[in-house]
Chains A and B, each alone.
Chain A
Amino acid sequence: MNRSLRPLLATALIFVLAYALAVLQHPNMLSTRVLGNLLTDNAFLGIAAVGMTFVILSGGIDLSVGAVIGFTTVLVATLIMWLNLHPLLAFGIALAVATTFGAVMGAAIHYLKVPSFIVTLAGMFLARGAASVLSPDSIGISHPFFEAISKSYVLLPGGGRLTVVGMIMVAVFLAAILLAHRTRFGSNVYALGGSETSAALMGVPVARTTIAIYALSSGLSGLAGVVFSMYTSAGYSLNALGVELDAIAAVVIGGTLLTGGYGFVAGTFIGVMLQGLVQTYIVFDGTLSSWWTKIVVGVLLFMFILLQRLVFQAGSRRN
């Protein structure tokens, strides 16, 4: 067993344990319905977190994720409802806009030598502002194709529903795992995260990779926004407020080091599922207020960071 996979295994184990504990308290949680809903409800977070994983693997951070999601929902709603475009065309345009936005941010980070924190912060303000300039109010989306997609699902054994939204999330994760571990781009990302100087000396095309990473992150946030608009059938500029922090939490819980260069996309998936599990548990419990979610996620985050610390310190001491 590859030693570097150990933190990932630890994370997966903790998820299974947490799920088992939850099921002990609420046996109804052990059903494909809950699992199907977990996938659907957290699809937008999962897709955005995949993009965030690549950014963090390269040693940067992307604070604009939530804002791009919000902007994309408004753009999609505007294109469908006000310009009467077909939803697929609207999705395509929105994805193109989001990807270009990310590419511009990546270029600014590389050529202006500004920390990614600040550039993506500016991007976040810009995207939120553009969204509320486009439409300060919520726009409901009603289009036959849209409704058909948001309602279609595959029936799982046990009554669970795997919706289109959930399928997109799973597909994105699988594609991302392939991208990270089987392509040159993925190796370049890991190299950048390890050390930008070494990577440049090794011949990694730093500029191209940086721009591609942030374009990918914003593109995936755009996809998350498309998914969110399918999930809520509306576009609203204040959508997905704070999602970037949930995405960062998911990535960290999943075992990716914030310094970059180490981590797994699969870990992010577990991180997203854990957050969804906590929220589902609170819904099932019914007595806990929703702000307990925040405390629990904070505690989880802390525990995982400690765990990472211990695992890495143990590993390095052995050397």
Chain B
Amino acid sequence: MEQEISKRKRRIGIIVNYLSLIFIIILIQAGKPYGLDTALLLTGALGALIVGLISFISVYWKTRLWRLVHTSFKELDERQIHVVYNSIRYSYGIFCILCLIIIYFNAIVEKTNIDISTAGGFLYLAHILPASIIAWTEKEVLIESGKS
């Protein structure tokens, strides 16, 4: 039995997912120099992680969008190939722009290293961007139960 997940719900889920990622990165970045209480830091990060996980599951996992963008083109039909190709095209542009912003920002403030939280954030972003674009733009996205 398939249920449609509305565009509004998907977009909210995407925003929540990205905000939780940004919150985790900020917590880790701000925790060290400002000497925040470790327990508070961990609680905050864990909370954000749980929220991020729930939003990931509802927007990308249950909708099978995560699987769609990671499936070989041989297993997709022509419309799916077109959708995935477009999402990868836009993802490439967005990801490059973000990388360049970080690189130039680091160059301007003369910061020579990128910490593990930022690197981890970019790794997650690289994997999630194509699915985000599809979830944001597609007219019809269904939550399927069982095998498709």
Task: State whether these chains interact.
Answer: no
Q: Which residues of B are at the interface with A, using a C-beta cutoff of 8 A?
A: none
Q: Which residues of A are at the interface with B, using a C-beta cutoff of 8 A?
A: none
